[in-house]
Amino acid sequence: MRHVLALLLALQCLTAALAQERRSGFDDMARETQAMQREDAANPAMLWVDEGAAIWSRPAGAQSLSCANCHGAAEASMAGVAARYPAWDEGSGTAIDLAGRIAQCREQRQHAPALARESEGLLALAAFIGLQSRAMPLAPPADGRMQATRAWGEALYRQRRGQLDLSCAQCHDDNAGRRLAGSTIPQAHPTAYPLYRLEWQGLGSLQRRLRGCMNGVRAEPFAYGAVEMIAIEAWLAQRAAGMAVETPGVRP
Amino acid sequence: MTPRRLILASPALLLLPPPQPARASAEAMAAALRAFTGGAAVTPGRVTLDISPLVENGNTVPLSVIMPSPMTQAEHVRAIAIFNERNPQPHVVTARFSPHSGQAMLATNIRLATSQTIVAVAALSDGSFWSDSAQVIVTLAACLEG
Amino acid sequence: MARVLINIPRQIRAGESFAIRTLIQHGMESGYRPDGAGGVLARDIITSFTASFEGEEVFGLELSPAVAANPFITFSMRVQGSGMLRLRWRGDGGFDQSEVRQITVT
């Protein structure tokens, strides 16, 4: 109990300390790109959200169950859910990200064919579910069991890696707001994922972006779904706690 | 062997510039424009091309074009064609309008290979042609992914 | 069938212009991207878009590889009464997709 209270206090202090200084990548974007995110009719990510809504209602697996069969209307049952991930998974005794939870539900409860990491189907569902938390504050669970994962995530965030020997913190904490080539370095908050990235001309997850960054510093990127990825996601969520969810976002 | 002798003795060491992807040029754009207008005179004005002068990512660049017109059977915009100068080929889009269009307007997202000039040419029902152009600077994404 | 989003304004008045916003999921492979084996990935794009109201063409667009992936097309139209709007996208590889929507004048 004391552990949980300490964690809650730490989270509150962190949130308060960073609240004034924190900036979403949205604020660093050009006006036109911001407009693309703001208007659902112009946001290409909404094509994936539409697909996700269709998958939600589509029966799958041996018992022909759809997500809706258990969860009902996503607008009600999934409200605020994406904002609470990564979270602790009782079954496996580890932290789990939203995509992992969706895939797990699909395989173990729906008994449907697995949705691979970064597949169109999984991205679509993640975008659709993420949308149900849009404008809500990112709310990493006050769960003491997540502490070790978040701490490891922070350590990975601060660790130098790759041929360029750079850590995430060196760009995104120490040099956020300054320019790298023609682009502004964002603070790197996970508030808008999965998002439509103009560079990809497609929808991608936070882990895809992390792999891109790791390639950028010429480091061996962590695999999709790797425990390191979940840990970094957990740390980034804590670091961004309280910021508004923007899913599905648009970024350059 | 001294470096100088090595270079003189090995023509194979002559470095050729890396092959450039084929690019449209100002000439190609002019040719495409002529094909659209049939060689008729083009007057700058009346049509407005709206595109940001500084673009974050050339993969998806919002663009809109509009030409005020009563859009009646007697007087309307027939078409607006958009050309570029430095993509691999000079065409972007060609829009066809009718009196049912309400407005001669189009908004879309385009790709720009590099910083360049974009030109919009409008064809009116009376046979005249009008144009607008914009200079766009395209910055590249900083962390190019593998 | 590619995913399509079509945005039609709620309030449409007879004789007044209104904008239709469309998005279609399509990679728009330009035909210039290297395939990693020394060649290029074959072109696969949407080449034309047409909007017809009650069978008559209202707006048409010829697309090129210079149009961004997941083409976003916004155009204007004006009607005197309610009727059927047909949107059609055609392209490489026999791509041919139509969507029909009711336009209701309030």
Q: Do the domain assignments include residue B116?
A: yes
CATH dotted code for A2-251? 1.10.760.10
DSSP B139: P
Given an 8 Å threshold on Cβ–Cβ distance, is B98 in contact with C19?
Answer: no
Please say whether the beta carbons of A221 and A118 come within 8 A: no
For residue A184, the cross-strand partners are: A179
Q: Do B143 and A216 touch (CB under 8 A)?
A: yes
User: Is pLDDT at A94 greater than 70 in this prediction?
Assistant: yes
When comparing pLDDT for A137 and A184, which is higher?
A137
DSSP state at residue C65: T
Contacts of C21 in chain A (CB under 8 A): 41-42
Q: Does C21 touch chain A (CB under 8 A)?
A: yes
- Tell whether A31 is within 8 A of chain B (Cβ): yes
> Dihedral (C-alpha) C43, B88, A45, B96: value to the nearest 10 degrees?
-90
Type of residue at A182 = G
Cα–Cα distance for residue pair A247/B26, rounded to 1 Å: 42
Chain C residue closest in CA terms to B87:
C66
Residue B127 counted as domain residue: yes
Report chain C residues whose CB lies below 8 A from the CB of B102.
16-18, 76-78
Higher pLDDT, A75 or A4: A75
> How far, CA to CA in Å, does A131 sit from each of A74, A123, A128, A193, A227?
10, 12, 5, 10, 25
Superfamily, domain C4-30+43-103: Immunoglobulins (2.60.40.10)
Q: pLDDT confidence of A73, banded at 50, 70, 90?
A: very high
Q: How far apart are CA C60 and CA C62, in angstroms?
A: 7
Confidence of residue C36 (pLDDT cuts 50, 70, 90): confident
Per-domain boundaries in chain A: 2-251
pLDDT at A19: 45
**A67 is a catalytic site residue:** no
Give pLDDT tens digits for C46-80: 999 999 999 999 999 999 999 999 999 999 999 99
DSSP string spanning chain A? -HHHHHHHHHHHHHHHHHHTT---GGGGS-HHHHHHHH-TTT-THHHHHHHHHHHHHS-BTTTTB-HHHHH--HHHHTTTTGGG-SEEETTTTEEE-HHHHHHHIIIIIS--PPPPTT-HHHHHHHHHHHHTTTTSBP-----GGGHHHHHHHHHHHHS-BTTTTB-HHHHHTTSTTSEETTEEPP----TT-SEEETTTTEEE-HHHHHHHHHHHTT-PPPPTT-HHHHHHHHHHHHHTTTSBP--SEEE-
B·C CB contacts under 8 A: 102
Tokens of A138: 């990112």
> C76 - beta bridge partners?
C19
Q: Model ipTM? A: 0.95
Residue A21 pLDDT class (50, 70, 90 cuts): confident
- Structural Rg of chain C based on CA atoms: 16
* Cβ of residue C66 closer than 8 Å to a chain B Cβ: yes
Q: What is the pLDDT along chain B (146 residues), one digit of tens a residue?
A: 555 554 454 444 445 544 445 555 889 999 999 999 999 999 999 999 999 999 989 999 999 999 999 999 999 999 999 999 999 999 999 999 999 999 999 999 999 999 999 999 999 999 999 999 999 999 876 555 54
Residue B19: predicted pLDDT: 46
The answer to the question of residue B98 being in a domain is yes
Nearest CA in chain C to B83: C66
Q: Is the confidence at residue A7, as pLDDT, over 50?
A: yes
So where are chain C's domains? 4-30+43-103
Query: pLDDT of A27-52, one tens digit each?
Result: 999 999 999 999 999 999 999 999 99
Q: Are strands A183-184 and A179-180 parallel, antiparallel or unpaired?
A: antiparallel
For residue A193, pLDDT over 50 is answered with yes
pLDDT at B145: 57
| For testing contact with chain B, the best of C13, C17, C75 (most B CBs within 10 A) | C75
Nearest C-alpha neighbor of A75 from the set A96, A57, A98, A100:
A57
Q: In the numeric block, which tokens belong to residue C93?
A: 């590889």
* Boundaries of domain holding B36: 21-138
pLDDT tens column, A207-243: 999 999 999 999 999 999 999 999 999 999 999 999 9
Number of domains in chain B: 1
Residue B15 lies in a domain: no
3-state DSSP call for residue B34?
helix
pLDDT at B4: 59
Contact B141 A35 (CB under 8 A): no
Q: Is A64 left (phi over 0), alpha (psi -120 to 50) or beta?
A: left
Chain C residues closer than 8 Å to A248 by CB: none
Q: What does the pLDDT read at residue B146?
A: 45
In DSSP terms, which residues pair with A89 in a beta bridge?
A94
Residue B26: the pLDDT is: 87
Q: What is the CATH number of the domain that holds B46?
A: 2.60.40.2470
